[in-house]
């Protein structure tokens, strides 16, 4: 049997093929373009690669055009963590020498000796991959929007706290269109104090507000005209220009997050698993899409629910040595899925009495902190999701969180 290792780079890739004995049978450097990809496929075909029995490939990347080309058909592609590859490299040389052809050879030997210990890339459908792209991009845009909003808030506190006071009653504060329109109209407190009631009302209308415009305009005008400390005039104008630059970034981040959220809302309901995910309490379209993006729709990806829980970082990990033993939370995990799980567990008690009682029991009886209780709830909900996806069933409150009497009946049955 032949094993292939590819050392990925930006402009070129080194390829190494080894046989069962570990002997190097072929090596080549290909370019990162269509010509290079054809040379790679021809090289694999030359050494026995067929559609029914493709040569497995190890590479230190999980996405990109090269990976997309390799994932066609039934071929198994193993995305090896660079840290794991570095440990394997030390098995062959203690001098810590390193080269691109040598790394490709190491990757090929990883499959030859330990392919059973690594997991190939899941065989998700194209729709699931597309949803993953949109959901991750929307998540990144949301994080970028929040980061830019925090920067803008920090800047306003230095010279323009009255703006923060004016936007305090609004949910999402600086990210709202009304706040952005008013900041563009009055970037400094001196200009804000000169705003008329008509100007404020016009800004609120441009932002799309329909109700309570007059009352809100009077409140904002009173806040902006209240007595407050000021920076020197020149410094205040400079800070106002800096604020406008940040405001442009915030508007772009808000637009990107909203557009990507619309794309997710359009693509996610088309997936067959969407109905199951949306049946769970706490999961909406955006959060359900994030969960689907990370677990995929390949039913053979996880051998059991324990594997999925470990992948999400919801299950604890035991470290034992001699007489010492400790149970702690997992550090190595899928951070995106773990973050989505925290939001899921945070919202689930609002729509599920069983989830709420489970959370309260972890807090009151077991003494868990808030985050630990949510992590335990996420761990349980994830196991239920695994079963529902396997059996193609919707979430049922009584089955997921049976009452004590129902538990006894189920045990007797």
The neighbouring-strand residues paired with 325 are 320
With residue 28 as reference, give the H or E element that holds it: strand 24-31
pLDDT of residue 327: 77
pLDDT of residue 409: 45
In order, the DSSP letters of 225-242 are TS------HHHHHHHHHH
Gap between the Cα atoms of 100 and 22, Å rounded:
18
Contact 201/195 with Cβ under 8 angstroms?
no
- List CB contacts of 261: < 8 A, sequence separation 6 or more: 138, 286
Gap between the Cα atoms of 267 and 265, Å rounded:
6
pLDDT along the chain (413 residues), means of 10: 91 92 92 92 92 92 90 89 84 76 91 89 92 96 95 94 91 90 94 92 92 92 89 94 96 95 96 96 96 93 91 87 80 91 95 93 92 94 95 92 61 38
With residue 39 as reference, give the H or E element that holds it: helix 34-46
pLDDT of residue 251: 95
Contact 174/153 with Cβ under 8 angstroms?
yes
In order, the DSSP letters of 50-104 are -SSSPPPEEES-SSSHHHHHHTSTT--EEE--HHHHHHHHHHH-SS----HHHHH
Contact 91/73 with Cβ under 8 angstroms?
no
pLDDT of residue 404: 67
pLDDT of residue 146: 94
Cβ neighbours of 284 (radius 10 Å): 14
């Amino acid at each position: 049997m032949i094993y292939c290792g590819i050392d990925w780079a930006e402009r070129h890739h080194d390829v190494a093929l080894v046989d069962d004995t570990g002997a190097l049978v072929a090596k080549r450097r290909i370019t990162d373009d269509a010509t290079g990809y054809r040379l790679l496929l021809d090289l694999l075909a030359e050494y026995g690669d067929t559609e029914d029995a493709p040569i497995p490939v190890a590479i230190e990347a999980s996405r990109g055009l090269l990976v997309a080309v390799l994932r066609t058909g039934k071929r198994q592609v193993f995305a090896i963590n660079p840290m794991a590859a570095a440990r394997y490299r030390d098995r062959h040389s203690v001098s810590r020498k390193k080269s691109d052809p040598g790394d490709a050879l190491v990757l090929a030997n990883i499959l030859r000796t330990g392919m059973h210990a690594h997991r190939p890339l899941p065989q998700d459908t194209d729709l699931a991959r597309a949803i993953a792209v949109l959901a991750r991009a929307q998540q990144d845009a949301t994080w970028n929007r929040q980061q830019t909003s925090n920067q803008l808030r920090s800047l306003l506190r230095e010279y323009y706290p009255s703006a923060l006071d004016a936007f305090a009653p609004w949910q999402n504060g600086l990210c709202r269109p009304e706040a952005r329109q008013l900041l563009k109209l009055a970037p400094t407190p001196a200009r804000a104090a000169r705003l008329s009631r008509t100007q404020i009302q016009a800004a609120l209308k441009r932002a799309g507000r329909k109700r309570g415009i007059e009352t809100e305009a009077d409140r904002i005008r009173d806040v902006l005209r209240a007595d407050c400390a000021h920076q020197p005039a020149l410094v205040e104008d400079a800070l106002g220009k800096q604020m406008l630059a940040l405001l442009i970034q915030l508007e772009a981040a808000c637009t990107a997050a909203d557009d990507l959220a619309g794309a997710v809302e359009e693509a996610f309901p088309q997936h067959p698993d969407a109905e199951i995910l949306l049946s769970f309490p706490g999961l909406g379209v955006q959060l359900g899409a994030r969960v689907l993006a990370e677990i995929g729709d390949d039913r053979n990806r996880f051998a059991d629910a324990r594997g999925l829980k470990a992948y999400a970082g919801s299950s604890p990990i035991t470290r034992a040595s001699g007489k010492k033993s400790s149970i702690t939370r997992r550090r190595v995990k899928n951070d995106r899925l773990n973050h989505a799980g925290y939001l899921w567990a945070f919202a689930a008690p609002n729509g599920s009495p069983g989830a709420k009682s489970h959370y309260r029991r972890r807090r009151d009886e077991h003494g868990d902190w808030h985050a630990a209780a949510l992590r335990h709830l996420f761990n349980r909900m994830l196991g239920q999701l695994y079963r529902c996806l396997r059996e193609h069933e919707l979430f049922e409150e009584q089955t997921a969180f049976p009452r004590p009497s129902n538990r006894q009946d189920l045990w007797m049955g």
